[in-house]
Structure 1
Amino acid sequence: MGAILLALGLAVLAWALVIGDLMHQHRPALHWYVVGYPVTACRVVFTWRRVAVLNDLAVSRLPARTLIGHLLVKGDPVRPVAPRMSFPSATRLGLAVTVRLHAGQTPATYLKAADALTHAWKVHAVRVTSPERGLVLLTATASDPLQRPGLATAPPELLSALIGVMETGGAWVLNLRLVPHWLIVGATRSGKSTLLARLIAELAPQPVALVGVDCKGGMELGLFTGRLSALATSRREAVAVLAALVIDMQDRMSACRSAGVRSVWELPDKLRPVPVVVIVDEIAELYLSDGTREGKAEAEQCSTLLLRLAQLGAALGIHLVVAGQRVGSDLGPGVTALRAQLAGRICHRVNDPGTAEMVLGDLNKDAVTVAQAITAQEPGTAVCTGPDGGWNRARSHLTTTAEAVATARKHAATTPELPALTRAMTALEGDDE
């Protein structure tokens, strides 16, 4: 009888392992709720006191004494008291616990202990936030959801592009109505070009004008010429295109002033001008000068025109998406002023820690550290800011160049014509002749 029960137990165990493995491969969320969460929750509860003591999260107190008990004498040992923690609650990708801070404690101490918590709980990462004074929320992610990102979905919306998936499991959406201007930074083969291709593919079906500035001879954005209302492939052409956009912006100001409104979005549909998205690839090419008087003048003009578009364009339906490998002050003060106007930030893997600091340092120091940790084995992974001022790790969906080009060609017939840009490009062609 004992042998039969043993064999039956082994069979049940083997069956559970098989089912668990299948769930892990095909239904990772279900596997987490059934198998992963109970084990990890127990680990969090049973290791909390020890982890708190080792990482200076506990407070030392003298043991309680009673009148009948022995008197408190010199040298009595103190007792470390761990902060009070809620029972771990399951989330879709991990778990979360709320910790009540001891008097005098700050969330900074928990930020320093995040790595220790990650290793002690055997999870992918632990994020530390403070939802209200006196409380800290520890959110643990069981595994990296960006290793096998699912195809997230988002409702279609004007000037909104579904870029990929965030570490939280939600859709990564770049919404130009909420955050009008964006800065995208990343080293070669970090996923920056793929993200731009994805953005163009998402915006191509929409009634918006796309304007490209690619001073590398149009090697990147030239592939989408059919869907671009204008494309500048040199700094001289960039000056003409940006100047034409400033003129168009002034016309929009006049229309808003005449109608007594503060933005083009308050205008009637028939009077509202078409939204414009200006995509600049490799911003450094606009700012670097060859030392000649003409080169310096062009660089200064580009700097001034871009800054004007960034400062005034949001309410007038003109948006900037600026990409590059570096946006440091070594390119000149104009880059620093422009960077301050680009509230949306996306930082892929970078070549040096200073670049991540330049992109995210004025927003959140923790985001800088996370961005610096992105490796070459994580193409498409980036740290992005949100409309609420927070940040997330995210990964763009893989959109091949061929797919993006096909989408651009499919919608080439709907490309809006901007008269100011047409006149500028015609004038340039006349000068060349």
Structure 2
Amino acid sequence: MTGSLVTLLLVVVTALILRWRRPACYWMTFGVTLAALRVAVRYASVMDACGLTVPPARWRLSLARMTNRPVPESRVPRILRLRPTRTGLVLRIKLRPGQDAFDVASATDRLRHSFGMYGVTSRELRSGIVELRMTGYDVLRRVQMPAETGPAPMRIPVALREDGSVHYRDYRAVPHGLTLGATESGKSVYQRNLVAGLAAHDVALVGIDCKQGVELFPLARRFSALADNPDTALELLEALVQHMEDVYQLIRSAQRITVDVPDADIAAGIWDLPADIRPTPVVVLVDEVAELALFATKDEEKRRDRIVTALVRLAQLGRAAGIYLEICGQRFGSELGKGITMLRAQLTGRTAHRVNDESSANMAFGDIAPDAVLAAIQIPTDVPGIAVSGDSTGGWTRIRAPHTSLRQAVNICNRHADRTPDVPALAAFRPAVAPLASATAPLTKAAPTTA
């Protein structure tokens, strides 16, 4: 008997320590079973308390009245599936007639409290089917990306969402993106994760880093073109515009629009072309867009207008040519001059890290997801990397990228340096890098011995 009590005590102490120090391990060992039991036992009473029930059908009431039986209880949404995950539970339910997905979304905070979970989010999969994703702990406090994230062309896992799912940067679905964030907000780490994820794909990386290249030039071995000042950036962007026009000429020559060609074989973009003639897609990363838009003299103003015009043209026409923009900055508003708001309107994917004022958050989400503005300005300063991500659909979510040091990003880019494509139009902007040191070479120079 004493041995059983000692064993039980050890199990309880282990569970408490894991819950405090390693919440992910606690969830996989103890939490997932306890949470599934709570949901199964409390489901009917919780749904009734949250107002997510419907009265019984009239024929059931009539039958109970005729047979002198008790009045049947209200009906709750039917459980289709309860699936455990590495971060929580996924509960899929079928709504009863008369219920709406908005009712479930409005009750998520009450469901979180009633089921004893850390967070609950809902989304409607199709008419009448709602999925509740429940997290058992704060998944954004210590981000752990899953080992397998389902690789796909131009679809990069860059962060973890607050519901425990992976946040992807899918360039084929959302061609252009805008990333805002104040100093020390985690914007650079997000960008490193993006470059590290793209490094393993067959894509040409083009970087514009007007901070003298301190952010992107360490990753130069994986870049096909780099610019570290506005003058070079202008030449590089205009070369990209010419490359885009050449790609469109290639697409036109390969369209083969004849009567006997099926509709699915008619090319309207590079992804419709055969693989043997398909141009390499290009991702353009601009580290600080304000440095391209600011000017102090008339000559700089002319240069600025040409830069913004080139960016707008790439944003409007680049998708079909396989050119994707990733614009980063601390602010991105109309004070940067004409054409900036036109460029921002083309950037569908929006990500905002911690910002210094509400107007900066409005620049990211004011025109697409007003609810996300409040979430962006509430990001605390002591958790760098937390961000709010949204798109033109109006939906948004909190995300956090795993911490990736500059050394880790450099190592990944060096490992995939052989994937760097040679784009003839960008050959003049290819960074000059020294060959990699041999693995057998000493890392430090030996000091001479003295007698």
In the aligned structure 2, how far is the partner of 1:195 from the partner of 1:160? 15
Q: Does 2:143 align with 1:149?
A: yes
1:206 has 2:205 as partner? no
SS in 1 for 2:211: coil
Q: Which of 162, 184, 198 is matched with 2:157 structurally? A: 162
Whole-Å separation in 2 of the counterparts to 1:423 and 1:15: 66
**1:357 and 2:355 aligned:** no
Farther-moved stretch of structure 1 (140-149 vs 312-321): 140-149
SS at match of 1:316: coil
**Alpha-carbon distance change, 262 to 49 in structure 1, aligned in 2, over 3 angstroms:** closer
Q: Work out whether 1:308 is the aligned partner of 2:313.
A: yes
Q: Conserved in 2, the CA contact under 8 Å of 1:204 and 1:411?
A: yes
CA distance in 2, matches of 1:51, 1:364: 27
The alignment status of 1:14 with 2:9, answered yes or no, reads yes
After TM superposition, list the pairs within 5 Å mapping 1:28-107 onto structure 2: 28-39=27-38, 42=41, 45-46=44-45, 49-50=48-49, 52=51, 84-86=76-78, 89=82, 91-92=84-85, 93-94=88-89, 96=91, 98=93
Partner of 1:273: 279
| SS class of match (2:140) | coil
Deviation at 1:241, TM superposition (A): 0.7
**CA deviation after TM superposition for structure 1 residue 242, in Å:** 0.5
Contact 2:227-2:429 at 8 Å conserved across structures: no
Distance in 2 between the 1:142 and 1:156 partners? 26
Aligned length: 400
5+ residue gaps in structure 1? 61-65, 67-80, 427-433
Letter in 2 for 1:154: T
Preserved CA contact (<8 Å) 1:165 1:394: yes
Residues 408 and 304 of structure 1, relative CA distance in 2, 3 Å threshold: same
For residues 353-372 of structure 1, the C-alpha deviation after alignment (integer angstroms, 9 at most, x for no partner) is 33333323444344444433
**TM-fit CA distance, 1:147:** 2.1
Greater Cα offset, 19-28 or 94-103: 94-103
SS at match of 1:271: coil
Aligned position for 2:254: 259
Q: Which moved more, 1:38-47 or 1:206-215?
A: 38-47
Amino acid at match of 1:150: Q
Contact 1:205 1:411 in 2 (8 A): yes
For 1:102 and 1:272, locate their aligned partners in 2 and report how far apart those are by CA, in whole Å.
50
Change in 2 beyond 3 A, CA 1:100/1:420: closer
Matched, 1:342 2:347: yes
Is 2:132 the partner of 1:127? no
Shift of 1:308: 0.7
- Structure 1 residues 44 and 156, CA gap change in structure 2 (3 angstroms): closer
| Aligned mate of 1:319, from 306, 315, 324 | 324
Contact in 2 for aligned 1:240/1:425 (Cα 8 Å): no
Residue 241 (structure 1) aligned to one of 230, 236, 241? 236
Instruction: Give the drift of 1:285.
Output: 1.5
Q: Partner of 2:409 in structure 1?
A: 404
CA drift at 1:235:
1.6
TM-score by length of 2: 0.75
Distance (Å, rounded) in 1 between the aligned partners of 2:3 and 2:74: 44
Question: Does the CA-based 8 Å contact 1:306-1:338 persist in structure 2?
Answer: yes
Q: Per-residue displacement from partner, 1:256-277 (whole Å, max 9, x unpaired)? A: 1111231122333332222211
User: How far, CA to CA, are the matches of 1:346 and 1:424 in structure 2?
Assistant: 29
Q: TM-score, normalised by structure 1?
A: 0.77
Moved more, 162-171 or 186-195: 162-171
Matched residue, 1:189: 184
- Give the corresponding residue for 2:262: none
* Alignment-derived partner of residue 285 in structure 1: 291
| CA RMSD between the two structures | 3.8
Structure 2 vs 1, CA of residues 265 and 389 (structure 1 numbering), >3 Å: closer, same or farther? farther
